[in-house]
Structures are given as structure tokens and as C-alpha cells.
A and B are shown apart, each in its own frame.
Chain A
């Protein structure tokens, strides 16, 4: 028996060391992978950040180190961006359109998704699919008829054109997305709130919507990013500088003929991308967390 005991003891020690070693290499692998991807993700940002302060000579000479300043940095390109283009107007337009589109999208797709998720009849599902199909028609096909609609409504050269048209893209996909979230919330919880003293609307507001938070955030992100990067409609409806968004304003006014204002372009992109990235990062946990866990037993 003593033999077996010693054998077991030594073996456990060796196994333990082996497991530790594996664990250590596993961590090293994980972190080097993560670091690599972090660099890949950050590289365009850092390049843009450096380029926006470079003098044109520095940027265009092939022999220069592209990753650092070979001549003194300059604010000249930012001055051009802010003072000689309508950059601030573009930002304001983008934010206005984005907020309006997000609000309209939520106001329509939340009730629509609720109805589609809770309808007991089979055509609820079919209507959901029909709504989703609308999303599959690409804007490249739709922009010509849409332009005629906008013109006959007299909305060309106005932000209202975009505020009216973008929801045709965002509402179908958002309804579909929110429908899934609504289905994930047990009917029991809503009915319990009704028994506990609320009307159906009260139950939805107090119990269902708080649980819908991750879905609502997802829709806000989707609707806002779509209306800020959409290009075709924005280009087709609005020509004058005062009603352009970032997506159309920056490329049309910083590429003049065949002259690219690279540093100003990079600056325009960086200053809009970084705040948005930070904002989304703040809600990252909310996307991921399994929010309804523990709602029902088992």
C-alpha cells in the first residue's frame, strides 16, 4: 500500500506542475493574441492621428518614416477643416438626423415588435418575415424612386428628407431585432405585473422595458450609426453644403477634383470616430450580460 501512496503523491505533484505550465502558456497565448488584435484595431486610428498633424512635404515624401513626424507637426489642416469647410455643420446635421431617426425608429419599432412577438395568431410570424424582407431591398435600387418621392414632397435640400427616408431602413431591422428580445421576456412576468396592480401599459413600462434595455441600446446604436454613415440617399437628396452629413460632406468637400486633403480628411474621421467608439464601449457590458437570467426558475 505504501508504494501506491508514494506513487500517487509524486504523480500528483508532476501533474500539478504540468497543469501550471499549461495554464501559464495558455495565458501568454491569450494575451499575445489580444494584444495583436488590439494593435490591428488601433492601427488605423494611430496612423490617422499622426497624419492629421503632418505637413504635406512630410506626408508625400516616400523616404520619410510614415509612422512618425519627420518635420514639425502643424495645426494647419485642422484650421482648414474647421474654418474653411462646413465641418461643424456636418457634425450638427449628422447628430440631428441621427437623433431624430433613432427616436422615430424606437417609437415605431418597439410597439411593432411587441405586437409581433405577442400575437398568438400565426400571421404574426409571417408579418415579421414580410417586414424583414423590406430590408433586403438595397438603397442602390431604391434611391431613384425615393428621390422622386422626396422631390414631389418638396423635401430635397433639407434634413427632413433623410429623417423621413432612413427609418424605412432602420424600422424593419429594428422591429425584427426587438421582436427577438421581446420573445425572450416571459409573458408571465408581464402578467404578474398586471395582477400586481398595473395596466398593460404600466406593466410594459415598469417590467418589460427595463428588461429590454440591451435590445433598445442595440437599436439606438444601429439606427444612429446607419444614419451617420449612410451615403447614397444623403448624396442623392442634398447637394448644398448646409444640409450635408459627415458621410457626404467630408468626402465631397475635402476631395476637390483629384486633390485629396489627406490630413484634413484623417482629422475629420478621427474626431468623429473616437467619441463614438468611447460611447459604445461604455455600453458594451449591457450588450453582453444575460439580463433575464433568474427570471424564471430552473
Chain B
């Protein structure tokens, strides 16, 4: 177990700045997610922590030791790649034993360890197979077993679920979480999938253009986004953003409810919502339209299936948002600001 800390970390590839001055500190045994769109620098950050990329500037500390100049093998980390990177010319047993062999462990102890790791993931019966004879889910388990057999101090995962199909992904996510809770190992997990990030992370670092835009619990980044990017990157559909006298304000689609549905009528801010189109998705309804008061900006409302109120299209409806659910952002740099009065 160890704390991972990076200080003022920078990485440039020629003219491209991949990671632009990142400070980040994990907690002991935490599941920390790096979330962002592709090209935001999250994988480069992870690879620098692993030692596969040399930082241009800055410092990386694992367990209070400066590892910035150490090669990957000396960092006592384990990493699972997006492709799983199993060694195709070795059996599953030899794949799992590979890191132990590199340590120079004798074969008897090695076999015990392999058995233990295989048991952890229920893959004992696969030990004599080769990677090409395994399904996607089995390959993932082998990769995890190989990563853990050495009992590393930090566990790094680079989008390990993205190549699995949707059904398998949910099961694999469940496995991974259960296992991380049991071992309690500090884990850094890179993904571009916000559902994975929200569901798995103790904390989420939302990244864009090489910078961490916000670091916080799933509740914090979802309900109190630090800026417009975080507000619009998280949530599906994303936060509605409207422009008014010199600033921006926004609200989540599920907070935008028809009059009479919400309980706290007194503290709500009313809007006139013109609905163009309705998507019925079973568990919820998406309403697409615009708000008359604000330059006809496109707005989405999400009504849960429990709201059965009939809504007709191409008509104005009275909708409202609770006052404490409105978020305000600076017009120029998009950063969160204090609540402002809404002018009519």
C-alpha cells in the first residue's frame, strides 16, 4: 500500500503539451479515477507514474519516495494495459509467473503464488491454456492475476474494460471493484467512460488539455462542477447551460421539472419551456426544446418514469428548477462563481 503523489508534472512531445503541470495526491488504498476525453493526457499521466514515459518536468513520488528517475521495474507497481498485453507464447501459468521469475523467486514458491493468484480470480482451470484460447473476460482475469501476483504497492489500470462488450463489462466492473475493496490497494484507473468513473471511483480527477479541471468525489464533480467543461463532460445528457447578463448558469436535465411535480414550489425558479421533441426510453423521458426567456438556447429535460404527466410537443410548458440546483459560471473563463440574481 502506498500513496502516489505527482508534483507539477509536465510532459511535452515536441510542440504538443500532453500533461501541463499536474498536481495530484492519492489517498491510502483509494480508487482514484482519471477521467477525460481522448487526448486529454490521462494515459500519458498514468504512463509517467508507471515509468514508461519520462516527464519533461516535475516529480513523482510513490510511498514518499521520489521515483521520477527510476525505471518501471524498480517502482513496485503493477499495470494492466487496455489490450491486456498477455505474452502469447506462454501459458496462462507462465504469464502469471513471469513477474515472479523476474524477481528470481524459486519455482516452488512461484507455483504457490500462481495458485493463489489464480484462485483469487477463479481461473485455476485455465492455467495450462494459451492466451489465444481465452475469451475476453478470461484474458482480463489473467491480466489482473499477473498484475497482482507480485503484491505491488500501486495498481495502475489503463481502460481495462473498454474492449469488452457491454454485458461482460458490467460483470468485469463488479469483479474489479470487489477485488479492489478486498485487497485495499491504491488504484489509479484511467477511463473515458463517465459511468465507470462515477460508479467505481472514490474520487475522480477530470482532465482536459493536460490539466486536472477538478478533483473530487463523484457527488462533488457531478453536483458542483468546478467549470463549464466538467459540467458538460459529466452527465448524459450533459448540464444545460444558458447565457444571461454577463455570466452563464446551468442545471441538470433531471432537475428541470414541470410545474406541480416538484414539492418545494416556493423556492423554485420558473421558466417557459417550449418542447420540440420527446424521446421515450422506458425508464425516463427526454424532452428536447428551448427556453423562451433565454435566446432560445437548446435545453434538455429528463423526466423519470414516475412522472406520468402528459407533455404535448410544439407547445409552451411551465417548468422550474430548485434555486439551490442552479450553477453559475464566469462568462469568459467558464469557472464556477457565486450564485447570481437572474434578471428577467
List residues of A whose CB falls within 8 A of some B CB: 120, 186, 188-189, 191-199, 202, 207, 210-211, 291-298
Contact = CB atoms under 8 A, between A and B. Distances in A.
A195 B52 contact: yes
A298 B52 contact: no
A295 B73 contact: no
Q: Which 4 pairs of residues, A with B, have the shortest CB-CB distance?
A: A294-B132, A197-B102, A296-B83, A188-B85
Contacts of B77: 195
Interface in B130-155: 130-134, 136, 139-140, 146, 150
A293 B88 contact: yes
Contacts of A196: 73, 98-99, 102, 146, 150
A296 B102 contact: no
Nearest to B73: A197
B71 interface: yes
B98 A188 contact: no
A88 B146 CA distance: 54
Contacts of B164: 297
A298 B73 contact: no
Contacts of A293: 88, 132
A198 B99 CA distance: 9
Interface of B: 13, 50-52, 71-73, 77-79, 81-89, 98-99, 102-103, 130-134, 136, 139-140, 146, 150, 163-164
14 contacts: A188-B82, A189-B85, A191-B72, A194-B71, A195-B77, A196-B98, A196-B99, A196-B146, A197-B103, A211-B88, A293-B88, A294-B133, A297-B83, A297-B84
B89 A291 contact: yes
A292 B88 contact: yes
Nearest to A191: B52
Contacts of B83: 186, 188, 295-297
Contact of B72 (A186, A194, A292, A298): A194
Nearest to B86: A295
A296 B142 CA distance: 12
Contacts of A297: 83-84, 136, 139-140, 163-164
Given A192-B79, A196-B98, A197-B103, A296 B71 contact: no
Contacts of B98: 193, 196
B77 to A, nearest CB: 7
Nearest to A200: B71
Contacts of B50: 195
B88 A192 contact: no
B81 A298 contact: no
B146 A295 contact: no
A189 B89 CA distance: 11
B13 to A, nearest CB: 8
Contacts of B134: 294
B208 to A, nearest CB: 24
A198 B140 CA distance: 22
B154 to A, nearest CB: 11
Contacts of A191: 52, 72, 79, 81, 85
Contacts of A188: 81-83, 85
Contacts of B89: 210-211, 291
A207 B87 contact: yes
A194 B72 CA distance: 6
A296 B85 contact: yes
Nearest to A210: B89
B73 A194 contact: yes
Contacts of A211: 88-89
B114 to A, nearest CB: 14
A199 B164 CA distance: 31
A196 to B, nearest CB: 4
A195 B84 contact: no
A194 B52 CA distance: 8
